[in-house]
Amino acid sequence: MPTWTGRVLDAAAVVLPGIGRVRAQKEPFARAWEEAGRAALASDRPLWVALGDSMTQGIGAGTVAGGWVPQLNARLGAPFAVLNLSASGARVADVLEDQLPRLPARPALVTVLVGANDMLSRSRRRGVADRFARLLDELPPGRSVVATLPRRNAAAREVNALIDAAAADGRVRVADLRGPALGPIRGTLADDWFHPNEIGYARIAGLFEPPVRAVTQGDSRD
């Protein structure tokens, strides 16, 4: 049975065909990442494990390659085999319960971009800071890059303070999506007017690039 949000999207897709086009990417993108993940686990290249929601899946880009994860890997010279454990619609609890338990031993890099779906309603925001604190505690120290939340509500500010504290302790690096970091949105959104397109994902890749380079170039503060 669809959630309230799902029913709203179903209705909106009738009026705005772009919503339906973007939603239709969910299953083929997930299959592509599953196939890539099997190859990554069989590879001898350093392993990048990507955790998160539809934005880490790359939903909204024209192809899987247009998402921020493939764009950033290409900018770096494609050194990583990528195991993308993210899932469309995922919340912080899903990363804790479904994604982190599948984290292989000693990945070279772990990235986290999650929390947008937890901000959609007051009931979803309840307890999110406690869950994010647990998430930060369970990430591999010195090898993890975590994105802050661009939203400015109290729950997002509390989560961001936790991320900043973990960075100050040397546990994680920060990809900062707050304030003007993502720039003007004109020309950066997909057909559903919610997810980024390739241009928007390029901006996210650019925000992740410095902290990822800091980790992968050996300045991991382990």
Query: What distance in Å separates the CA atoms of residue 214 and residue 139, rounded to the nearest whole number?
Result: 17
Q: Which residues of the chain have pLDDT under 70?
A: 1-17, 218-222
Tokens of 143: 């090898």
Write down all domains in the chain, each with its CATH number in brackets. Answer: 27-216 (3.40.50.1110)
Residue 21's pLDDT is 86
Q: What is the pTM of this model?
A: 0.89
Please choose, from the candidates 205, 218, 198, 214, the residue with its C-alpha nearest in 3D space to the C-alpha of residue 75: 205
Query: Which residues, 6+ apart, have CB-to-CB distance to 195 below 8 Å?
Result: 22, 54, 55, 59, 60, 189
Q: What is the pLDDT of residue 14?
A: 43
| pLDDT of 194 | 85
| pLDDT number for residue 182 | 87
Q: What are phi and psi of 163, to 5 degrees?
A: -65, -45
pLDDT value of position 17: 52
Q: Is 92 exposed, middle or buried (0-12, 13-18, 19+ CB in 10 A)?
A: buried
Torsion of the alpha carbons at 35, 38, 43 and 47, rounded to the nearest 10: 90
